[in-house]
Structure 1
Amino acid sequence: MKARYLVYTSLFIAIAIVLAQIVKILPIGTPGAVLLPMHIPILLCGFICGKKYGLLAGMLTPFVAFLISGMPIIFPVGLSMMFELATYGFVAGYTYKNLKLNPYVSLLVSMLIGRMVYGVAAAILYGFSNFDFGFQMFIQAAFIIALPGILIQLLIIIPLVKAIEKFQTQNQLPQVNA
């Protein structure tokens, strides 16, 4: 079972990296910051594979993407993303699998806590690079610019979770309990 979820986690990491590369070619300014392509697979990983695997996927994805494509720039953007995505994956898995919260509640909690962690990490890391990352910039980046991505997450993540769980049940695949 552990091997199965490592494979799933690797698949979610690969999907996140491919989605980021696809979104990058869209003719909009900062398409990654607008559509949040890495967030969806990491949240799915937490929901499907559990908190440990979600955390692992969130930590590794920005770093692996940087090694493959040079984006996101590892400091301070990539490191901030590593904290944010790891939080998404962990909290999604913990609230859904361990606390057994409603999936929509788990998603909202994950998104809010992840954004708060991003804000703290960005404020600290950007501070080391002499870039002022204040509250207004946090709100702008985490909620206003990202609104289309947030809406996409709210619309598709839970139906995808339900579809994957239904597939697992129909094919008698084990599900993570913790």
Structure 2
Amino acid sequence: MHTREKTYKLVLSALFLALCLVLPMITGGIPTIGNMLLPMHISVLLCGLLCGWQYGLVIGFVAPLLRSVLFGMPPMYPVAIAMAFELAAYGLIIGLVYRLLPKHGVAALYISLLTAMVGGRLVWGVAEVVLLGMAGNAFTFQAFLSGALLTAVPGIVLQLVLIPAVMVALDRTGVVKFRRAEG
């Protein structure tokens, strides 16, 4: 990778980290569903797609921890720590799966996105089991379903609509060659 490309990815990753810090403040202002929109997830998923799995992994891990330290939200234990593992998995999985697929385009994007969403939620569940287990508390399957699916539906829908729309828009403007090998 050339120095210019590394610099571009580093700057773009910094932008996604900044979005991870700021977007929850904006969506938190929407009373009924603001916390369910998962704005940090969107930033990390885009980072993994646009910058690669390495950057997505690091930004995903750092963002919730840094936000907790700076703003006190999310609470460090167990929320921010579990989110760090979840978002790191998101950035890693989406970047890696998209890179490894033979053709790129909308279908590959959805395969990568859905794989990352499932993988990230499973990692979050394991992190919650470990973190709460260390404190002598149980993390039930019902709590997993509630946290991973039921309360996350608005965010899941937003991710499935917004991320492909952003990628197509970036492709149309020439910023990213997203559909380069679509058949």
Q: TM-score, normalised by structure 1?
A: 0.88
Residue 37 (1) aligns with residue 39 (2): yes
Who is 2:120 aligned against?
114
Letter in 2 for 1:64: L
Letter in 2 for 1:103: L
Who is 2:80 aligned against?
78
Indicate how the Cα distance of structure 1 residues 128 and 56 shifts in structure 2: closer, same or farther if over 3 A, else same.
same
Letter in 2 for 1:9: S
Q: Of residues 120, 127, 134 in structure 1, which corresponds to 2:133? A: 127
Who is 1:5 aligned against?
9
Who is 1:16 aligned against?
20
Superimposed CA distance per residue, residues 107-163 of structure 1 (whole angstroms, 9 cap, x where no aligned partner): 000100111001101111122233321111000110011011101101111121222
Contact 1:48–1:165 (CA under 8 A) maintained in structure 2: no
Distance 1:77 1:169 in 2: 35
Higher RCO (Cα < 8 Å, 6 or more apart): 1
Equivalenced residues, count: 169
Q: TM-score, normalised by structure 2?
A: 0.86
Q: Which runs of 5+ in 2 are unaligned?
A: 178-183
Who is 1:25 aligned against?
29
* Runs of at least 4 residues off by over 4 Å: none
Distance 1:13 1:50 in 2: 14
Q: Which runs of 5+ in 1 are unaligned?
A: 173-178
Who is 1:137 aligned against?
143
Distance 2:84 2:142 in 1: 22
Query: Could you tell me the percent identity over the aligned residues?
Result: 40
Cα-Cα RMSD: 1.8
Shift of 1:37: 1.2
Who is 1:47 aligned against?
49
Distance 2:73 2:127 in 1: 18
Q: Of residues 144, 147, 157 in structure 2, which corresponds to 1:151? A: 157
Shift of 1:4: 1.1
